[in-house]
């Protein structure tokens, strides 16, 4: 397994669980896009024009997460904390209300569940939300996980299944007869099959030239603050002056605010980017005014040409699992199933 983000860790777990001896190569497992992710499993809130197929794929993700959670429990005695909170989608101004209307039209055309709710009837759902916002759209099927908990749990489970983690960067990869090999600064390693799960980063030499798909990095940032606990209510999503904003509130008052999106790959925080995100946050959830800033996290989303994930087999014994873009956490258990079926079908 080249890459130990959520895709690599989950795939390694699935393979190890059925008896494969797995080695993960990654200089810093869990520290890529996975660390920046809010952890939403939001098939409905992520509905977008032209992405119906992706919506259908994500729809199966919650069930796949429940199953993965159960498997992790069997190995570690701990489950993934799945919060089936739903999402409340709101609008900041008149033109944002039109965006919510458009969203509702698309969501309903896909058959997604979306129901209008009014503050006067469902006041608790609007807790912390600007008093000027009187209505919203409830997307009841959405859920969230904490990616830090997921990474920690997968790491423990993989340790228990004796997955070997080598903190080394893979420079090149190849196929030699019925074997695959990778080269790092420390030497050459061989195995029966290999999966590339390098997120938005370039592939190792030797395979980079052979693949059909392309991924480009789309930088995103989440801001983490402490001080508002609305974890018993739906996640908040909003259109603000045409931009998208979300907040995932965890028990104890830790909130993840997101997310910026730029066609850039330098992992730095631009002042304007941070200012826009915080302004949007305060316009939608004014109660955040007194929350304290914990940190910002940045990551590169792996975007394919059509924004859909792919699992590409190269040279029969290598596969490339990427293109998960905004949905890698959501889709991780499904990507792991693809990795499993890939190795099970090797001759
Ligand atoms: C701000 C932000 C918010 C997001 N929110 C959500 C969300 O709420 N829900 C959701 O479903 N998705 C979300 N995503 C998307 C999700 O984070 C990604 O799709 C997912 O993390 C991709 O996982 P990955 O394992 O492919 O990549 P990564 O997590 O980037 O992991 C790739 C790993 O590969 C390693 N690597 C790379 N090259 C090599 C090499 N040559 N040798 C060895 N190791 C290598 C890296 O060190 C890294 O650890 C968000 C993304 C961002 C940036």
pLDDT in tens, 86-140: 999 999 999 999 999 999 999 999 999 999 999 999 999 999 999 999 999 999 9
Whether residue 109 contacts residue 116, with contact meaning beta carbons closer than 8 Å, is answered with no
- Give me the mean pLDDT over the 77-87 stretch: 97
Q: Does 194 sit in the ligand 1 pocket, CB within 6 Å?
A: no
Residue 185: pLDDT band with limits 50, 70, 90: very high
346 pLDDT above the threshold of 90: no
Q: What is the pLDDT of residue 60?
A: 92
Cβ–Cβ under 8 Å, residues 339 and 186: no
Average pLDDT, the chain: 96
**Could you tell me what percent of the chain has a pLDDT over 70?**
100
What is the Cα–Cα distance from 299 to 276, expressed in whole angstroms?
Answer: 18
Domains of the chain, by residue range, sit at 1-81+145-215+304-347
Residue nearest to atom 50 of ligand 1 (CA): 37
Residue 171 confidence class, pLDDT cut points 50, 70, 90: very high
Is the model more confident about 27 or about 267? Answer: 27
Give residue-wise pLDDT tens across range 214-230.
999 999 999 999 999 99
Q: Strand (E) positions, the chain? A: 23-25, 40-41, 87-91, 115-118, 135-139, 143-144, 164-166, 172-176, 179-184, 187-191, 194-196, 216-226, 235-240, 243-249, 254-258, 292-303, 310-314, 318-322
Q: How confident is the model over 286-300, as pLDDT tens digits? A: 999 999 999 999 999
**Cα 333 to averaged position of ligand 1 atoms, centre (Å):** 14
- For ligand 1, is residue 39 a contact (CB within 6 Å)? yes
Residue 232 pLDDT more than 70? yes
Q: How many C-beta atoms lie closer than 10 Å to residue 241's C-beta?
A: 13
User: Which ligand 1 atom is at minimum distance from the Cα of 335?
Assistant: 26
* Mutate which of 297, 299, 300 for ligand 1 pocket (most atoms within 8 A of beta carbon): 299
CA distances from 245 to 59, 145, 153 (A): 22, 18, 29
Buried residues in 5-28 as b, exposed as e (16+ CB within 10 A): bbbbbbbbbbbbbeebebbbbbee
Q: Is residue 329 scored above 90 in pLDDT?
A: yes
> 172: burial class by Cβ within 10 Å (0-12, 13-18, 19+)?
middle
Give the number of other Cβ atoms within 10 Å of residue 342's Cβ. 20
pLDDT of amino acid 34: 98
Q: Which atom of ligand 1 is nearest to the CA of 184?
A: 42
The CATH T-level fold of domain 1-81+145-215+304-347 is FAD/NAD(P)-binding domain (3.50.50)
Backbone angles phi, psi at 96, to 5 degrees: -65, -30
What letter does residue 287 receive in the DSSP assignment?
G
DSSP character string of 91-140: ESSHHHHHHHHHHHHHHHHTT---EEEETTT-GGGGTTS-TT--EEEEET
Distance separating alpha carbons of residues 234 and 285, to the nearest angstrom:
13
With beta carbons less than 8 A apart as the criterion, state whether 334 and 20 touch: no
- Confidence check: pLDDT of 45 > 80: yes
Q: What is the pLDDT of residue 347?
A: 61
Assign residue 140 a region: left if phi > 0, alpha if psi is -120 to 50, beta otherwise? alpha
Q: Is 3 in the pocket of ligand 1 (CB under 6 A)?
A: yes
For the chain, give the percent of residues with pLDDT over 90.
94
Asked whether the beta carbons of 324 and 335 are under 8 A apart, the reply is yes
Tell me which DSSP letter residue 265 carries.
-
Residue 237 pLDDT: 98
**Would you say residue 78 has pLDDT above 80?**
yes
Closest of 206, 213, 161, 205 to residue 11, by C-alpha:
161
pLDDT (tens digit, 9 = 90+) per residue, 252-278?
999 999 988 888 888 989 999 999 999
Whole-angstrom Cα distance, residue 256 to residue 223? 6
The DSSP line for 1-21 is -B--SHHHHHHHHHHHHTT--
Please say if the pLDDT value at position 176 is more than 80.
yes
Selection from 283, 288, 297 nearest residue 226 by Cα: 288
pLDDT digits (tens, 9 = 90+) for 239-249: 999 999 999 99
The sign of the CA dihedral 113, 118, 124, 129 is positive
Structural tokens at position 91: 């609008």
For ligand 1, mutation pick of 328, 332, 335 (most atoms within 8 Å of CB): 328
Q: What are phi and psi of 116, to 5 degrees?
A: -65, 135
The reply to whether the predicted model has a pTM over 0.85 is yes
What are the C-alpha distances in Å from 222 to residues 119, 189, 298? 28, 36, 7
How far apart CA 13 and CA 19 sit, in angstroms, is 10
193 pocket-lining for ligand 1 (C-beta < 6 Å): no
Is residue 144 a contact partner of residue 83, using CB atoms and an 8 Å limit? yes
């Amino acid at each position: 397994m080249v890459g130990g983000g959520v895709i690599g860790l989950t795939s390694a777990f699935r393979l190890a669980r059925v008896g494969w001896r797995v080695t993960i190569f990654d200089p810093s497992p869990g520290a890529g896009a996975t660390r920046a992710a809010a952890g939403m499993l939001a098939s409905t809130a992520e509905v977008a024009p032209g992405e119906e197929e992706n919506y259908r794929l994500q729809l199966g993700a919650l069930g796949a997460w429940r199953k993965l959670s159960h498997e992790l429990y069997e190995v570690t005695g701990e489950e993934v904390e799945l919060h089936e909170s739903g999402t409340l989608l709101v609008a900041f101004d008149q033109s944002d209300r039109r965006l919510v209307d458009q969203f509702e039209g698309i969501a309903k055309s896909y058959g997604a569940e979306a129901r209008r709710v009014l503050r006067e009837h469902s006041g608790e759902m609007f807790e912390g939300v600007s008093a000027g916002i009187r209505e919203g759209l409830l997307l009841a099927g959405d859920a969230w996980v904490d990616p830090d908990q997921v990474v920690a749990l997968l790491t423990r489970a993989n340790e228990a299944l004796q997955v070997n983690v080598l903190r080394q960067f893979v420079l090149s990869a190849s196929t030699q007869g019925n074997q695959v090999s990778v080269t790092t600064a420390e030497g050459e390693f061989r195995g029966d099959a290999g999966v590339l799960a390098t997120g938005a980063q370039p592939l190792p030499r030797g395979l980079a030239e052979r693949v059909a798909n392309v991924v480009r990095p789309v930088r995103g940032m989440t801001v983490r603050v402490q001080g508002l606990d609305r974890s018993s209510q739906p996640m908040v999503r909003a259109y603000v002056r045409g931009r998208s904003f979300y907040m995932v509130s965890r028990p104890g008052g830790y909130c993840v605010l997101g997310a910026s999106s730029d066609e850039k790959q330098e992992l730095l925080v631009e002042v304007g980017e941070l200012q826009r995100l915080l302004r949007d946050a305060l316009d939608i959830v004014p109660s955040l005014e007194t929350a304290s800033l914990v940190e910002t996290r940045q990551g590169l989303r792996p975007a394919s040409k059509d924004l859909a994930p792919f699992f590409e087999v190269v040279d029969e014994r290598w596969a490339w699992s990427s293109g998960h873009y905004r949905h890698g956490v959501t889709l991780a258990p499904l990507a792991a199933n693809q990795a499993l079926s890939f190795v099970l079908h090797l001759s």
